[in-house]
Amino acid sequence: MSSSISFVKTSELDLRELSPSYFITGYQGFGMLGYLTTRHIVRELKLQKIGFIKTRYMPEFTMYSRERGLMYPFEVYAGKIGSNNAVIVLHNATPSEKERTSYTEYLAKLARDIGAKEVILVGGLDPSLREDVNEKYRWIPIGNTGIKLDAKLLEERHVIGPLALTMMFMNAYGLSGVTILAYTELYRPDPKASAVAVEVISSILGVEISTSSLLEEASLIEAIEAEREKVEKAIEESEKKSRLSYI
């Protein structure tokens, strides 16, 4: 593997002990979907942080919490989800553009080397592509996957960013799996859309993962947005009256 990118263990657990496993990840793209979904699964199921991915251009930030200890930009969690083993790469940051190709290729090699039986990638999808109001997500198969989802495929549409690179390398290295693309708000975090992705992953893994905290976050964001719009409208009306008083 690339000498500038490597896995640093912070626990005694050996990734190879988890073979075969589901390999799950996503990025901070549209709606922060990949990040919110993987973070939620890690927290909800209390998976163990077993290490992090070190890169040449690692983002220079961290934070501490009693529950999870010191945070790394690209964390690796693992554990049992129901009857299945799972490895989740949590992207608290987006890999540097300078090494994005090398980084996503490293993820594919890592998934291959630990014997991932299926890869699950998560991203956000532009809601303007929705053909039906009841449609919640689309998906794309990777390799010769055994996963079948009850939704339309996303066909003849471009996928961009690190998610696209990850899909290509997973396929090139002979891995199989799916990319789940939930319709999302494009320019703000969308926990409600993330709840959709979590439910799909739950069905794949055959285990129930509560989404109540995501839906609570969504309600809070919607309330803040509604209040902001109310304030902006009041300011606009006030300015309109002010202009009229000078005519």
- CA 203 from chain center: how many Å? 17
For residues 54 and 155, state if they share a domain: yes
Residues 6+ apart with CB under 8 A from 225: none
Check if the beta carbon of residue 114 is closer than 8 Å to that of residue 87. Answer: yes
CA dihedral 111, 116, 118, 120 (to 10 degrees): -40
CATH number of the domain where residue 95 is located: 3.40.50.10900
pLDDT by 10s per residue, the chain, length 247: 446 899 999 998 888 788 899 999 999 999 999 999 999 999 999 999 999 999 999 999 999 988 888 999 999 999 999 889 999 999 999 999 999 999 999 999 999 999 999 999 999 999 999 999 899 999 999 999 999 999 999 999 999 999 999 999 999 999 999 999 999 999 899 999 999 999 999 999 999 999 999 988 877 777 676 666 666 666 666 666 666 565 6
For residues 36 and 152, state if they share a domain: yes
**pLDDT at residue number 240:** 64
Torsion region of 177: left, alpha or beta (phi above 0 gives left; psi -120 to 50 gives alpha)? left
Q: Is 236 contained in some domain?
A: yes
Q: How many CA atoms lie within 13 A of 59 on its CB side?
A: 17
Question: How many distinct structural domains can be found in the chain?
Answer: 2
For residues 105 and 170, state if they share a domain: yes
Sign of CA dihedral 187, 33, 155, 200: negative
For residues 10 and 56, state if they share a domain: yes
- Give the predicted TM-score (pTM) of the model: 0.88
For residues 158 and 184, state if they share a domain: yes
For residues 92 and 135, state if they share a domain: yes
Helices (H), the chain: 33-44, 100-113, 162-172, 191-205, 212-245
Domain that holds residue 93: 6-209
How far is the C-alpha of 181 from the C-alpha of 191, rounded, in Å? 14
